[in-house]
Structure 1
């Protein structure tokens, strides 16, 4: 079972400096006809390149609004080189046009994803952005030194511009290694930390954006990590965000400890994540003696994930949606009229606030997922220098099964009959002991709500809330996956009742998710993929305590069959399913003997044979199936061993040996992961041969 890796945080949409609504539902509400849409956006493109500054500003605002929740319009605009046009406007002679162009680019980054960010980078967006950083930094310093001298509107404009600038840089840093390298060269750490240091004097929006950007930059990126580590003041600032002084205050004038703005919670979560990213903190900082995970991440983030009820959040969202729909939209505008300001209703404001709270929980789960992944991946053993990568070993053909049963040689007492993950115990006992208290709040977060997974026939009434809820369910499962992986590899155990409770809770969540597939249902699939890893971990820790439910067995088999052996991620899904089935097959209950036979027959079908020399399941799942069969029947005294003898499994395993050998020889070490897979394949092959000899010697 593999660790769930840290995921990039979901980007949240934010309006640009002057949010304007041109159409209530974008161009999609006007017509579904592509030709009409194309005709409608032409005036926007023309005005953006016009001589009138007011028209250029209007066009930037229009683009910013039209891309929201309307991918088809965004693609049409992209086809008209809207990215290049907006980047050109970043050097416009009118300041307001620059502000609106950057706001539109920000929204394109958030709504368009990595492809548009890559296009921006390729069209040299960093050239003008580099000039903005020192200008914003200088203006911010002037405001902090004498805020009274600048008009309030001017300050608001600068802070919103800074928010947009930082968000674009954050999104670009996730685009590619080339973009990240270019952003590293900009040395943004002092710029970003200046916002965090001034958090009690400026609005929270740019402060949170700066923290988010720094969190992304310090994620496995040594230049940014070194920059933060190099200044003790930076670390002290981050520590003060987590543990605010009694006298510190936020921009609203309230003490920091009493601030109820959800972004203040987000800021603390991000500070915890940044400290985790840069750990271990080197001396002479006082924080160097702190265990970041134990003393900061877990105490700070466990209350965050425990503080929200997703059922209540879903109900509140539905109520706000109903309230919003009952309020008539008094603005009926067209492209012929100048845009008017967008005064959000109280329902819209509350929905955005709710989404912000949900995204903060998602972010906390993302950081906890990394904290729960306490085990390093096993280092692959070096290959013997016997030949070029991908070639077979010369002694493979000599490892044949003896045809007679008169061999009385006994196996060495330390013969490893199966590939055992628990043998690679490199965990930190203290961390493992601290993880189980997280399980209960995580189980609450994996249970879907009414808004989490709407059916294909009934799209979500509020996609942002649905996206946030489903992301939380998946992130909570990823945390659970790493927790139980850590427990399994450390040899730790939990009581049978607790294990069964987790097992049933995961299946209950999957029962609500269902198996519906199709466009827009990708999160359902993600739930199953991560949940099977959790099930494998729970079954491993509670091996022998879980009675196999026939419905669960059939569901795991169906999911395994549905996965494509040709895709690496799907092969991993099959491996998880097989590992879980293996654990279920080893239940000592008398009623489980039939389930054992069902599972064994299924696993045997994945092995090569004379009739099917190549496994239909793929190499990696086939190796897992072979290893699982060895594990299941390594104890001839087990009650389910009657199936092995009565089903002639030994003969079937003998018939699979040649196919296993050929599959192992065919593994190309030059491919990504090939070296480790080859090592594992050789181990399974050797264990299979030894296991067959062992069973023959038993003469049962």
Structure 2
């Protein structure tokens, strides 16, 4: 069975670049502001001229003009229609903004003695904000273009060093103003005023400067592995700065001391600890604190840099010769295990949302700390500090950080509240990045942040469940054990299947921009782990995320490994108490996977914003029930977050059941729970398949409706004309649901088989309806999602075949159902007579990849391995399956020979083993036939 690991698909960052405009970032007298231009709806040559004027002002000799241009562009990126935004990008907007970043005077590597000039620093901060807004709200290729234009150069050589240098001063009390020497000349007074203005600008804008820089680094780290390789050259600087912002003293939380107890050579005695804590309390009273929104950005960046990137892990650990615990790990553990959040900062104004966001920021920060520590704990390191991290992650306090968010989620209530407050928002008003908490915009923003926090928690939870760390000894025991269609015209071609179509060369040394646009479009490279668990590519969609290691994990669970696993976990029942924390988790995840009225809605279900032009909703011809109601455009972020939550919940449930199924008898589940999850997963797949079919059905186009332009893009579009990318995004979420749902069904049927005392048969503790097998064969396996020649389609097929193999051999299975499964499996083997046996109306085809073929062989052999089963005689023997199976051996052998032993040694080894099992099984069944014939004579 395959576990699901993935990259985040939505960045839960604040989109706005700054908390408030800089005081001097105002247009010159008589010039209209950018929002005024937008409201007036100017088009054509005048608008193009205004855009070009803004770009020219970025290079103006007057500093205030540069600040105004950068600030205006940062705001325009959030409100411009896609066509005009593409026009700006075509005029080298990214290059001009990066040029402004490099124009900040600095005295590095020597430490600067004074802040940069106010205008230069303000221009750089606003330019960072514009780039950051582009990165979090645009397609991935925009981030690759930033990297190709060498965004990393000013970030790592100017901004990160300056930020690190001025951090201590920012947390210290403000310095007194600079006074000119007396008698003061006009030039000296001017220099003093400039120095004071620079210091004031730095102090007022420092945290926004930090956040903009960190979010850009985060987006770069998440994009693809080639860009991550470029970041690895600066990983020490990035990690040190992130950890400096996450220091527990600077956040105002208590230090976690548990890791320094025991035999730690660096352990302090009680008197020293008390004295130091007293000094620390005095220092804290004098120092400022890092705002939580900046700490969240630092944790997001740190998590992205550490994820599937072992070269960066060493920067968080102490040296091998050191006996002390890493201060960086202690800071992350302090955040994770701190019992309460630091005090909220005082509100700066009645509309300040800082206090309202404080608890959400703290929740996100703790989840990200869990995720960063989990990346270190998943490895094979035996270091004491890593072992201490593993122990901390297994504690109830750490697990509650994730489980409490899952337990407290109320998605239907959030969807209803969101729909209610969205009706109160003026659709003609410009977006406000920081609305007051009591306004409809502020309430909707709070719901969005809560949904994003839950989504992040589910993603980390899914990784945690896949890692083998969640339990105590019972999980430890089991966790350690853990294409294109065949070308008939070219018989000699190497056959690696869909899951083999991944780049073999993972270039971790590329620092230039060459070839990265293509890499971002393809989603980067597959990163495999030793346990055979798939990990999604950076910045990729799930349909390309499956690798050959996914199927290694799938097949290992079903291909004759059950006895070995049972032996491996013998005696683990005494550790079943370690599973108590997970007792209610399956039903909670199942509940989160149930769609709300705002879930899985295409863009055509939302009314166009008045800023994008007139809505075409009146000419809309709905293609499904979900599209008959137009929702306010303000609900789009919440709807997308809810949809992603459903998918992440079912993925986490898939990973949980994979881990539970490997835990043997210690993880046997309650029959009612299994039944509920089994039926819920089947219902979820049915709804996803029906929704996909309804959404893909072509709608009649009346003459009054203008034809679609045919252009692709993720920009805003009129309500009546959903773009292909918007449709594909929703369909992709449905595909993910079907893929994870098939894994949940497989896990349920494995956990649902229990051994009868005194019998070699296994009873099935679940109720299986007569339509279950036809649904899996005719609806799931034959669905367009499964039929797609992609790794995701391959995963759906393999998981469905695995579930069918278990369903078909349960006790008291009807002979007709067993025959339907057996014939279906036999029809997938490469023989010309296979189609003759497919009499159940299913649209099957010969297995198109090695993993599908191997799973077919394993399921079929397990299905008819016992000739004494009640269905064996009427189905296998009287049904004439043996001659067809024997005839398929030659086709299977020829197919396996196409798997290149040099490129895919592990896959070829498993394929050779499956072929040996098939040959031995055919011979065994022939011997059985001879014995039965001899008895009859």
- TM-score range for the pair, normalised by the shorter chain length: 0.7 to 0.9
- Are 1:686 and 2:916 counterparts? yes
Q: Distance in 2 between matches of 1:657 and 1:611?
A: 12
- Are 1:78 and 2:52 counterparts? no
SS across alignment from 1:299: helix
Q: Report the CA distance shift for 1:286/1:512 in structure 2 as closer, same or farther (over 3 A).
A: closer
Q: Distance in 2 between matches of 1:633 and 1:71?
A: 59
- Range moving further from structure 2, 302-311 or 367-376: 367-376
- Are 1:463 and 2:657 counterparts? no
User: Which residue is equivalent to 1:267?
Assistant: 365
Give me the TM-score of the superposition, normalised by structure 1.
0.83
Cα deviation digits, residues 533-557 of structure 1 (max 9, x gap): 1111111211333444354434422
Query: 2:860 is matched with which residue: 595, 616, 629?
Result: 629
User: Which residue is equivalent to 1:520?
Assistant: 729
- Contact 2:16–2:433 under 8 Å retained in 1: no
- Contact 1:199–1:250 under 8 Å retained in 2: no
Give me the TM-score of the superposition, normalised by structure 2.
0.63
Q: Report the CA distance shift for 1:64/1:203 in structure 2 as closer, same or farther (over 3 A).
A: same
Q: Report the CA distance shift for 1:515/1:653 in structure 2 as closer, same or farther (over 3 A).
A: farther
Query: 1:660 is matched with which residue: 881, 892, 897?
Result: 892
Counterpart mapping for 1:299-698 below 5 A: 299-325=400-426, 329=429, 344=435, 346-373=439-466, 374=468, 419-423=559-563, 425=565, 434-455=581-602, 457-459=604-606, 461=633, 462-492=635-665, 493-513=668-688, 514-516=690-692, 517=696, 518-521=727-730, 522-543=732-753, 544-557=764-777, 558-561=779-782, 562=784, 563-564=786-787, 566-589=789-812, 592-611=814-833, 615=846, 617-641=848-872, 642-671=874-903, 674-698=904-928
User: Which residue is equivalent to 1:385?
Assistant: none
User: What's the CA shift for 1:446?
Assistant: 0.8
User: What's the CA shift for 1:285?
Assistant: 9.1
Cα deviation digits, residues 62-85 of structure 1 (max 9, x gap): 443444485555444333322212
RMSD: 3.8
Q: Distance in 1 between matches of 2:64 and 2:848?
A: 62
User: Which residue is equivalent to 2:192?
Assistant: none
- Range moving further from structure 2, 213-222 or 16-25: 16-25
User: Which residue is equivalent to 1:194?
Assistant: 244
Q: Distance in 1 between matches of 2:403 and 2:659?
A: 18
Cα deviation digits, residues 244-286 of structure 1 (max 9, x gap): 3779545359xxx999621111111112222222236844799
Q: Distance in 2 between matches of 1:453 and 1:174?
A: 25
Q: Report the CA distance shift for 1:515/1:675 in structure 2 as closer, same or farther (over 3 A).
A: farther
Cα deviation digits, residues 395-432 of structure 1 (max 9, x gap): xxxxxxxxxxxxxxxxxxxxx9x822435637896666
Q: Report the CA distance shift for 1:534/1:196 in structure 2 as closer, same or farther (over 3 A).
A: same
- Contact 2:376–2:386 under 8 Å retained in 1: no
Structure with more relative contact order (C-alpha pairs < 8 Å, separation 6 or more): 2
Q: Report the CA distance shift for 1:73/1:207 in structure 2 as closer, same or farther (over 3 A).
A: same
Q: Distance in 1 between matches of 2:302 and 2:821?
A: 49
Query: 2:394 is matched with which residue: 287, 290, 293?
Result: 293
- Contact 1:44–1:59 under 8 Å retained in 2: yes
- Contact 1:481–1:537 under 8 Å retained in 2: yes
- Contact 2:170–2:206 under 8 Å retained in 1: no
User: Which residue is equivalent to 1:185?
Assistant: 233
- Contact 1:539–1:584 under 8 Å retained in 2: yes
- Range moving further from structure 2, 181-190 or 531-540: 181-190
Q: Report the CA distance shift for 1:667/1:195 in structure 2 as closer, same or farther (over 3 A).
A: same
- Contact 2:19–2:434 under 8 Å retained in 1: no
User: What's the CA shift for 1:303?
Assistant: 0.8
- Contact 2:135–2:216 under 8 Å retained in 1: yes
- Contact 1:547–1:589 under 8 Å retained in 2: no
Q: Distance in 2 between matches of 1:177 and 1:144?
A: 35
- Contact 2:337–2:398 under 8 Å retained in 1: no
- Range moving further from structure 2, 107-116 or 546-555: 546-555
- Range moving further from structure 2, 193-202 or 262-271: 193-202
Cα deviation digits, residues 581-615 of structure 1 (max 9, x gap): 2222234346x332222222222221121357993
Q: Distance in 2 between matches of 1:291 and 1:301?
A: 14
Q: Distance in 1 between matches of 2:736 and 2:387?
A: 41
Q: Distance in 2 between matches of 1:666 and 1:172?
A: 39
Aligned pairs, number = 651
- Are 1:244 and 2:464 counterparts? no
Alignment gaps of 5+ in structure 2: 22-32, 105-119, 178-198, 253-288, 319-324, 348-354, 469-477, 483-492, 497-555, 607-630, 697-726, 754-763, 836-844, 933-937
User: What's the CA shift for 1:310?
Assistant: 0.9
Q: Distance in 1 between matches of 2:790 and 2:428?
A: 49
Query: 1:143 is matched with which residue: 158, 162, 170?
Result: 170
Q: Report the CA distance shift for 1:618/1:263 in structure 2 as closer, same or farther (over 3 A).
A: same
SS across alignment from 1:481: helix
Q: Report the CA distance shift for 1:100/1:456 in structure 2 as closer, same or farther (over 3 A).
A: closer
User: Which residue is equivalent to 2:616?
Assistant: none
- Contact 2:886–2:922 under 8 Å retained in 1: yes
Q: Report the CA distance shift for 1:66/1:12 in structure 2 as closer, same or farther (over 3 A).
A: farther
User: What's the CA shift for 1:290?
Assistant: 2.5
Q: Distance in 2 between matches of 1:74 and 1:424?
A: 59
Q: Report the CA distance shift for 1:535/1:76 in structure 2 as closer, same or farther (over 3 A).
A: farther
Q: Report the CA distance shift for 1:25/1:275 in structure 2 as closer, same or farther (over 3 A).
A: farther
Cα deviation digits, residues 220-263 of structure 1 (max 9, x gap): 3334322222263222222222233779545359xxx9996211
User: Which residue is equivalent to 1:404?
Assistant: none
User: Which residue is equivalent to 1:15?
Assistant: 16
Q: Distance in 1 between matches of 2:768 and 2:387?
A: 52
